[in-house]
Amino acid sequence: TESDWSTHRSDNDRSSSTSVKLPASIKPSWRFNHPAGSQPVPSVAAAGLIFTTGLDGVIHAVDAGSGAVRWNFPANAPIRMPPTIAGGRLYAGAGDGFVYCLEAATGRPLWRFRAAPAERQIMVYGRLTSTWPVNTGVLVSDGIAYFAAGMIDHDGTYVYAIDAVTGTLKWQNNSSGHLNAGIRKGISAQGNLTIHDGRLILAGGNQISPAPFDLKTGKCLAKAKSQGRPQSNHGRYVGVLGGKVPVAGGRILFSSPRNVSSKGSFEVHTAKRRLRLNFGGIPPAWNKSTVALVNFKHGLLTCCDTSKVLERINADEPAKGSRGTVASDLSKTKAIRWQSSLGESNKFEAMSLVVGPNAIVAVVQHQQKYRAQPQWFVVAFDQASGKATWRHEVKDEPLPGGLLVDRDGRIVVTTLAGNLLSLVGGE
């Protein structure tokens, strides 16, 4: 259903939002301990199950009410993007170059599709991986599953659309990695996928990103760069802000899961130009009425009306003294709803954001002076006033971006060790 957190950042726009009302108070419910401990990817939730996986390649389905394991499925290689649940099926792209389709309720394999052009493997950070892993995840829309295989444009990038039920091919693009054939440069598969205005958009690495493809034919709509040297790496994230404007950036795909250096920034892409939205490694979160974002590492949590953000993006000129970002521009012109410190000092750092209909939930890290280990909290902010309504400390280090809200309003935190922490409404 629409209230499920059924794919990466909840929906195909990658908005990190939920239509479910968030609880006014919180208490711990259950904990799932990963049997081996593995670097995870953010989890997803649908139909009373939480699905978690990561670099060990094992998909776990956990009962959302109790935390009990329902089933496990071992893929053959690392999984670097959350699975997608659609039509009672689970879709996951894996580092062995295959896409797996499972029955979501039982984990029963239905089919697999080899996206890699050949079964050739190499070592990638100590793990045996295809030369053409499926690191984009799988986007499902209108009965079609989209994904891309590849890592570096030089070796080729392979983009696919297949029937989501049968796994039969609809179209494929095998040439986008070599848009400049003479030097074998073009689009790399370096992040997730989204859809906007009849285009499939891929986080495309350091030459062309975001990279657009015709949704119906697979034709690449980007032009080759005349030179092969990197333009910049625009990060592993692409989404569609407010359903209107593509946004891209963030951390690169092969980087530490922790929020450390090289945090990057996010840009919005209009028909006229690119504009920097905010600095940092955590993407903004939004729904039709509200945008939540944090500008810079220790920036204030900023809440704005979506309409005002889009208006500022489409304005002819930014405000003077805005430091070059839409976020600071909005603050400068007092076009924000509110700003809130994440804690008593500027040593609080946002790790995850979720926008709900009544509140914004953030996972934050606090590094006290002279304290060896940080503290971590889940905090809820009233959407109208910005007042912190509750705060809950978690003892395990959370995964940046690893926060979800399921259809019942349950808040689930994925930790850096691959564990799951469930929080439910109540004192």
Q: Model-level pTM?
A: 0.95
- Measured over the CA atoms of residue 114, residue 130, residue 139 and residue 61, the dihedral's sign is positive
> What domains are defined for the chain?
1-6+22-47+287-426 (no CATH), 81-256 (2.40.128.630)
The whole-number pLDDT of residue 396 equals 93
CB 64 within 8 A of CB 82: no
CB contact at 8 A, 250 and 294? no
**Contact criterion met (CB below 8 Å) for 267 and 277:** yes
**Average pLDDT per 10 consecutive residues for the chain, totaling 427 residues:** 94 98 95 89 97 96 97 94 98 98 98 96 91 98 98 95 98 93 90 97 92 97 79 87 93 80 78 85 93 84 93 73 74 86 73 96 87 90 93 94 97 96 90
pLDDT of the residue at 260: 56
For the stretch 410-422, what's the b/e string if a residue is b when 16 or more beta carbons lie within 10 angstroms of its beta carbon? Answer: bbbbbbbbbbbbb
Integer CA distances (angstroms), 28 to 250, 398, 420, 421, in order: 31, 15, 11, 8
Contact 103, 89 (CB under 8 A): yes
User: Measured between alpha carbons, how far is 388 from 359 in angstroms, rounded to an integer?
Assistant: 9
Closest CA to 158 of 237, 76, 84, 213: 213
φ/ψ of 178, rounded to 5, equals: -125, 55
pLDDT of residue 390: 95
Q: Which one, of 292, 287, 307, 295, lies nearest residue 240 by Cα?
A: 287
Model pLDDT, residue 345: 56
